[in-house]
Amino acid sequence: MDNAIPEKGRFAVINEFGGPEVFSVIDAAIPAIKPDQILIEVHAVSINPIDWKQRKGNHRFLLGAPFPITLGYDVAGKVVACGEQTEKFTVGDEVLGVLDNKYGGAYGEYARGTEKCFVKRPDQISIAKAAALPMVTLTSLQALRDKAELKSGEVLLVNGASGGVGHVAVQIGKILGAHVIGVSSGKNEAFVRELGADEFIDYRKSNVINSEKKVDVFFDAAGIYGFPGVMNMLNAGGRYVNTLPRPKILWHKVLQLFTEGKKAKTLLMDHNPQDLLGIVNWVVNGRLEIKIDSSFEFSEIQEAHLYAEQGHSNGKNVIVLKKS
């Protein structure tokens, strides 16, 4: 490592699964990088649902419990060291990306990740927005373009249209030429329409899946509905897409045999640097906007998780470690 890098840094860790109170900020050794990794001085991170779900232990049977655990996947910062097999970056580059380590590891002053997970941060994108955009934009783009195969002129319904993934999906749906219906609570209607939604449904006043609306794609960004519940809303050949693998996925596959070509698909986000680069260009060119709901200091990580977990954010919540 470069001599300018200290031996230790501050990290927000958990030593047990539970509520936001399990976080503590400690001094710990800065992680060593592998040959294909870069080390980032973290300037900002953002909170995704996977973060608080892992904090609660939802994935413990898959990922284990290697305490102390540093959570977090979205990160923006500066490259301070490069593995000998890396080629894209040099020390001093400003970057953004989604970490590919088990449990992430972004919640600290330094984080490591495979080089392919990052792209350079243009000056036109603030540190906070750079940290907010990677996971939700990759998820939305890949869900709509690759899983749903959304076509221009089709009708797209986005459930959870005001949240992190949802507010991006509304915009990407419009970029891809769809007629977009946004679903959220009534207080968020102006926000969702500002994103470009052509229609709005207040789920508190209308039963979404029992409405007379017919759609080509139902993107459940909020993870509320299953395929059986939305089948009647789908046109022939319609697609239901979510980002949460469900235990009944095999049953959904069976149902597809009797549903006029309707399909249920689940997205597992791919660390695709070309996708991320294209998204960054959309943001720079003003075609896509990343909305920040709230910004927190690193010392407020418990409060940040408590707020994010309530699920009422318009856009993303970020934690800023270093302002510039």
Q: What is the CATH number of the domain that holds 68?
A: 3.90.180.10
For position 248, what pLDDT does the model report?
Answer: 54
For position 1, what pLDDT does the model report?
Answer: 45
Q: Identify the segments of the chain with pLDDT beneath 70.
A: 1-3, 245-260, 324
Say how many domains are in the chain. Answer: 2
The answer as to whether 221 is a domain residue is: yes
Q: Are residues 32 and 59 in the same domain?
A: yes
> Cβ distance 164 to 140 under 8 Å?
no
Q: What is the CATH number of the domain that holds 161?
A: 3.40.50.720
- Can you give the residue range of the structural domain that contains 245? 136-266
| Beta pairing, strands 316-320 & 37-47 | antiparallel
Q: Are residues 22 and 40 in the same domain?
A: yes
For position 228, what pLDDT does the model report?
Answer: 87
Q: Are residues 104 and 224 in the same domain?
A: no
Q: Are residues 192 and 105 in the same domain?
A: no
Q: Are residues 112 and 71 in the same domain?
A: yes
Q: Are residues 145 and 119 in the same domain?
A: no
The answer as to whether 183 is a domain residue is: yes
For position 261, what pLDDT does the model report?
Answer: 83
For position 247, what pLDDT does the model report?
Answer: 54
Alpha helices in 163-212 (DSSP H): 164-175, 189-194
* CA gap 202, 183 in Å, rounded: 6
Q: Are residues 129 and 192 in the same domain?
A: no
pTM of the model: 0.95
Specify the length of the chain in residues: 324
Q: Are residues 167 and 178 in the same domain?
A: yes
For position 251, what pLDDT does the model report?
Answer: 52
The answer as to whether 3 is a domain residue is: no
Q: Are residues 115 and 17 in the same domain?
A: yes
The answer as to whether 76 is a domain residue is: yes
The answer as to whether 280 is a domain residue is: no
* CA gap 251, 83 in Å, rounded: 45
The answer as to whether 218 is a domain residue is: yes
305 phi/psi in degrees, rounded to 5? -70, -40
The answer as to whether 279 is a domain residue is: no
The answer as to whether 284 is a domain residue is: no
Q: Are residues 120 and 196 in the same domain?
A: no
Q: Are residues 147 and 232 in the same domain?
A: yes
Q: Are residues 145 and 243 in the same domain?
A: yes
